[in-house]
Amino acid sequence: TPLFVALIMVETTDIMFAFDSIPAIFAITTDPFIVFTSNIFAILGLRSMYFVLASMLNRFEHLKYSLVIILFFVAFKMLAHKWVNLPDLLSLIIIFVSLLAGVIISLWLTGRDKKK
């Protein structure tokens, strides 16, 4: 069936991305157990995280703008890593504040629209 073919393609893509990330993990650690288990958990968790994100985007209307900000921030970090070294804690704070702002603005505007 066509759905089975789509499933095979998605799983093949997952496996290719898992093998692609192995050299990056070896740059962090040389323990093969950590490398392979982290890839397994990434494959298992990525698809479920997509559904969580999709449901959050349906629930909070302005969260998509927060995700745009986060993607631009990550792109900036990748492009400017030679010149700008941001601490990991600052990156996490920027991502958290962006997500929190999207949720709060969505709740605030939804509450304001209900009052009208």
Q: pLDDT for 4-36, tens place per residue?
A: 888 888 888 877 776 777 777 877 888 888 888
Please check whether residue 21 is in contact with residue 12, taking contact to mean a CB–CB distance below 8 angstroms: no
Angle, CA of 37, 40 and 42, to the nearest 5° = 110
| 65-83 b/e (C-beta count within 10 Å ≥ 16 → b) | ebeebbeeeeeeeeeeeee
Q: pLDDT for 56-93, tens place per residue?
A: 888 898 999 999 999 999 999 989 988 988 899 999 99
Tokens of 99: 């997500």
* pTM attached to this predicted model: 0.66
Q: pLDDT for 82-92, tens place per residue?
A: 898 889 999 99
CA distances from 32 to 5, 40, 83, 92, 104 (A): 32, 12, 32, 27, 42
Please check whether residue 31 is in contact with residue 41, taking contact to mean a CB–CB distance below 8 angstroms: no
